[in-house]
Structure 1
């Protein structure tokens, strides 16, 4: 069995209680269906005996009841198992996405839209395939019972009919190969479509500003055309089984009627045998069709499942230590020792060394791509260096429990991300349960309380998706309040004021100055006016420190920092 199907079945077998009932009802339904042809033969042959017919009526009612009840539970519970497996896989994918490092997320070709496609579209295909596992189980059982009936009614004719089965199996195998081939292209194209739609929604402002509506429409139309082409191939292959099956079934029925007509004329068979055999033969068509459809659809499931489990097996996680230690209590320094980090083929840091004392405000300045944000991202273990180590106190951060490390690092970035929730819940962040006094205290320290109090619902005001119901300055102050509430000893300010106007920047800067007091702070900035009070300013160029000192010391050197400062002042 292919590995991807084994993985899907492993997920399915987690719901054994459902599967046991599915199996029992499948066997019951198959047995009842299998007996119908013999029951019809007996009824027709007993047509001359009214008393016997009346007594047999109860058997017919029991068969109908057994088929109806078993079918309901067989399909219903299989559907529920498929729903549960699908949701379990979605949750596993989301958990996996949250653990994958930023390097993976930044490099993934289809972006977040592609990951959404794996979570929704691929798992929908897996879900549809799982629903058909019931048919893969019950259809062969029904087939076996019906073939047994055919042997009972006329063994010789049944053997002749079974010669057709290998031809169907060969044809089915060939079709399956084609379906797998085109399915993977179709799913990949659907991932591109999802990515384009998400990009259109995320960038609608830019699209409208630059009149790019037609370009996005054309891109989606081209991707949609490719997707339809692939799906047409798949549907053509799937539906090609129908005419062949119908032709064989019709040919067999006519042959059976001719065969039994001769036997009846010679007194070697009864009308009941003819009708019973035809009934069983017509019934055989149903499980064959169901098995064909299920088997063919499972090929699409295999493709989607392979994509889902390849993502779950992705090894770009930030690994937790086998025996993680708590965050050190009495640390005095943060050290970067011989750190190397490459982003693809681009070397961002090479043999980087730095020691920061507890309580220092250290600013990193330099051109884009010089490694400023990388240093902060490595400290929070959003990704790990290829060589070297980062120490807090005398502890390598790889040995510290990941959640404890990140709990002790606060982050305020240029584009503060707010969840589609209330302002209070955004400030609470990782804390569960209400704490209105603590939230209000943090908001006052961040100079956010005044504007929040003017809102109709105050702290219960919804921020909207990504905080789009608030202005840039308001979002930034809520982000600072969140960092205040977290109260971490280490703080990262990543371009925290670069996207703001001068008035908003002044309000936000007051909140940041309060937040920085008593904390070890990494300030990443392009605007040099925001780093003049830092204890240490590091000028980076291609991952190396080219200058360091205070604002006044660096200006007096008339070096790189001085040039950057004079340029910005002009």
Structure 2
């Protein structure tokens, strides 16, 4: 618990000056409020004795103190809310940046998927933000409690000591609630992750859901997730609210006891009515700081759990590490070599001792059944994750020693599942390399065979593509993706089944763009349709994570091996 609090405190450091103001205004507020409570004794004593001059002096002073409490309370709460907002926004940015640095293994293995990660960046952050706001209460209300207790000791120290017998009871109640909260809050957070994941799947898969009449199935799934979440929240609310009635009953008992005692003292002439009013006023005012402190204490338990979840990702080591050598990408490289490369995913061996040489300017096709390791080979080249053993060299330079950004700057990727940003066509093409002059965007679109359909759109290159390119057809999205890769102008090209999801007409249009894209580049092509790779310089056939054949189209057909079998299946 202390570890997470220290980490959150570190996030507050940039706002030290503002927090100092928050602390000062809290102290002034507590002092002024306690002084007003004590002044009630003098006011009622003056009123009882009909001392008009004393009343005329005390009333303006009380008004001044009331103004001070109003102003300091405003700045105290306003500034704390603003700081909480700033801290959470900073954490949200750190978390998003971390998501983008985490390797594909982390994202693929995360149980609740992207919906669960969204839950952390939204729901857990909201809990932390609400919790940080009560930091103001932690500054203010303990001080107010101390000053009010000072009033009580000043007025009647014997009675004050007697009332403090109940303090250990309140502490025991809070401790019990804290222990219970630490048990149920993690369950509630996990439940929220799965509920968010279900909602996201409902939106992402709406086409399939409607096509297969799965609306009720998804609704039932969300209902189950919601029922589980509500059950846990019900338990948490029980624990949270249990302290309120208990502490309020204890507070009422103390007030009634004090009332009986002080009324006896007044009747016996040992105290004045002002003493009675001043003591009761301070005692009643104690309820607010005690209640706020109780709420803050309970809230902190939630904040600590959410902070654990946030920092567990921010500190997750599953990043592709930067090399201390930080070498630039070789300029005049001649070949790429996979040397005894193996890759394990969980308990499964995906690649086994891969040895492959790709000469500069070659088009190398990767062929094999699903799960044979084709995509893994290209993913390792871009370091979406690193090989379990072996090495990948560009000439004699291990890619692990190359600056990661520079490595990826020299590789252009075109995939089957095209991802476009919810922005304009121009911005999506320009995303290939924001450092280049955008004047070349139209020329790249023409080479990608995309210019004509772009110009038919209402706003041309400024037309929006929608979420993930939803306003475009599959072929149009793919041609924008090719234009983006062309604009990047990287020497290495990866085509991961770039045309497999297209109809024949769209494939012809897209293939024209791909032909332009591959000119003068080294290309690794993954394709299920063997007709698209017959002109490749080298075809690499994989089976169960191993290379079983390498050669040209005609050469491999003549061997009548695994490639021949694939070819026969597609031409029967």
Which category of TM-score, normalised to the shorter sequence, fits these structures?
A: over 0.9
Matched, 1:224 2:226: yes
CA distances 1:360-411 after superposition (whole Å, capped 9, x unpaired) = 0000000001110000000000000111111112111111111110000000
CA deviation map 1:1-34 (0-9, x unaligned): 5211211111122211220111000000010111
- Which range moved further: 301-310 or 242-251? 242-251
Q: Higher mean Cα deviation, 55-64 or 70-79? A: 55-64
Q: CA deviation at 1:246?
A: 1.7
Deviation, 1:430, is 4.8
The 5-angstrom pairing of residues 300-449 of structure 1 reads 300-432=302-434, 435-449=437-451
Q: Which residue of 2 aligns with 1:113?
A: 115
Which structure 2 residues correspond to residues 150-189 of structure 1 after superposition, within 5 A? 150-189=152-191
Between the two proteins, the alignment pairs up a number of residues equal to 570
> 2 CA distance for matches of 1:293 and 1:283?
16
> Which of 53, 56, 71 is matched with 1:54 structurally?
56
> What is the SS of the residue equivalent to 2:20?
helix
Unaligned runs of 5+ in 1: none
Structure 2 residue 7 is the aligned partner of structure 1 residue 27: no
- When the two structures are superposed, what TM-score results if normalisation uses the length of structure 2? 0.98
Structure 1 Cα separation of the partners of residues 484 and 444 of structure 2 = 7
TM-score, normalised by the number of residues in structure 1: 0.99
Question: Which residue matches 1:16?
Answer: 16
Distance apart, 1:504 and its partner CA: 0.4
- In the other structure, the counterpart of 1:38 is 38
Structure 2: 5+ residue stretches without partners: none
| Counterpart Cα distance in 2 of 1:96 and 1:371 | 27
Superimposed CA distance per residue, residues 176-211 of structure 1 (whole angstroms, 9 cap, x where no aligned partner): 111121111111101000000000100011111111
Equivalent residue for 1:509? Answer: 511
Distance in structure 1 (CA, Å) of the matches to 2:353 and 2:234: 55
Q: Deviations for 1:41-66, whole angstroms, at most 9, x for unmatched residues?
A: 01111121111211112211111011
1:196-345 alignment runs, 5 A limit? 196-345=198-347
Runs of 4+ with >6 A deviation: none
- Deviating more after overlay: 425-434 vs 219-228: 425-434
How far apart in 2 are the matches of 1:462 and 1:286?
Answer: 54
Report the secondary structure of 1:46's partner residue.
Answer: helix
The DSSP-based 3-state class of the residue aligned with 1:164 is helix
Q: Does 1:3 align with 2:6?
A: no
Counterpart CA distance in 2 for 1:472 and 1:222 is 35
> For the residues of structure 2 that align with 1:323 and 1:561, how far apart are their CA atoms?
41
Measured after TM superposition, the shift of residue 568 of structure 1 is 0.5
Q: Contact conserved, 2:432 with 2:487, CA < 8 A, in 1? A: no
Native 8 Å contact 2:185 2:302 kept in 1 = yes
Secondary structure in 2 matching 1:533 = coil
State how far apart, in whole Å, the 1-side matches of 2:380 and 2:523 are: 15
2:432–2:484 CA contact under 8 A, matched in 1: no
- Over aligned residue pairs, what C-alpha RMSD do you find? 1.0
Offset, 1:431: 3.5
**Which deviations, in whole Å up to 9, do the C-alpha atoms of 1:239-281 show, x marking residues without a partner?**
1111112211211111111101111111110000000000000
Mark the CA change 1:431 to 1:560 in structure 2 (over 3 Å): closer, same or farther: closer
SS at match of 1:235: helix
Which of 168, 187, 191 is equivalent to 2:193?
Answer: 191
CA distance in structure 2 between the partners assigned to 1:52 and 1:245 by the alignment: 38
Encode CA deviations 1:66-121: one digit per residue, 9 max, x unaligned: 11011101111110111011111110000000000011111111000000001000
Q: Is the 8 A contact 1:333 1:355 kept in 2?
A: yes
Q: Is the 8 A contact 2:364 2:524 kept in 1?
A: yes
Partners of 2:106 and 2:126 lie apart in 1 by 24
